């Protein structure tokens, strides 16, 4: 999908809910779109706020440096994550998202088009325009497909909530804020001192 071109053909009907990854690949749209249960969700056409980009770039860098020479790999948006159910065929995949950051530890899940299957860790950085999608639809999607750890960062308030998959259900952490040092249970040894991390982000 080329997010830099305006759509001229095959524009999806937002009320229709049975699109597949095969359809998704034909769209040339101005907005970034995602598919959840075959339904189209549009992200804002405008670029995210600067604070969103600062947080994303800083966390991506920390993860990239930490994971060097380790089996896991980190990617940031735009990067397609496909969640197959009955088949890996494009026309039978109805869930395609572009997380802000994701970590994949199984190289078999990576191909030229992104990731097929659940990443081990997904990070979403919330802004006012996307909170409902991330908190409800993506929460359910990630939980049901076995994403082992799901971080939600609120850019404006600079806090973090971590959901850890336990017996097939997400268990929430406390709300982490400045003064907390958080540690991933999935990416062993990766820690984040939130006071230091957010210290120069305005």
Q: What is the maximum alpha-carbon separation in the chain?
A: 51
Point out the residues of the chain with pLDDT beneath 70.
Answer: 1-17, 44-47, 128-131
Give a yes or no: residue 67 inside a domain.
yes
Quote the domain boundaries for residue 170. Answer: 50-198
- pLDDT given for residue 59 in this prediction: 97
- pLDDT given for residue 146 in this prediction: 97
- pLDDT given for residue 5 in this prediction: 32
Output the CA angle 94-34-19, nearest 5 degrees.
35
Give a yes or no: residue 158 inside a domain.
yes
Element (H, E) at 88: none
Question: What total of structural domains would you count in the chain?
Answer: 1
CATH number for the domain harbouring residue 99: 3.90.1570.10
Give a yes or no: residue 34 inside a domain.
no
- pLDDT given for residue 32 in this prediction: 80
């Amino acid at each position: 999908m080329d997010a830099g071109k305006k759509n001229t053909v095959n524009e999806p009907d937002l009320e229709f809910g049975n699109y597949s990854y095969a359809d998704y690949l034909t769209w040339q749209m101005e907005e970034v779109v995602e598919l959840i249960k075959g339904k189209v969700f549009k992200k804002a056409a405008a670029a995210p706020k600067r604070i969103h980009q600062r947080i994303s770039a800083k966390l991506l860098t920390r993860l990239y440096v930490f994971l060097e020479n380790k089996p896991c790999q980190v990617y940031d948006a735009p990067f397609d994550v496909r969640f197959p159910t009955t088949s890996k065929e494009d026309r039978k995949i109805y869930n395609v998202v572009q997380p802000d950051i994701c970590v994949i530890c199984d190289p078999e899940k990576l191909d030229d088009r992104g990731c097929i299957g659940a990443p081990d860790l997904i990070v979403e950085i919330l802004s006012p325009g996307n909170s409902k999608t991330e908190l409800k639809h993506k929460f359910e999607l990630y939980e049901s497909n076995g994403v082992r750890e799901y971080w939600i960062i609120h850019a404006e308030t600079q806090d973090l909530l971590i959901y850890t998959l336990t017996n097939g259900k997400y268990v929430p952490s406390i709300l982490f804020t400045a003064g907390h040092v958080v540690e991933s249970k999935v990416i062993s040894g990766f820690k984040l001192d939130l006071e230091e991390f957010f210290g120069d982000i305005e």
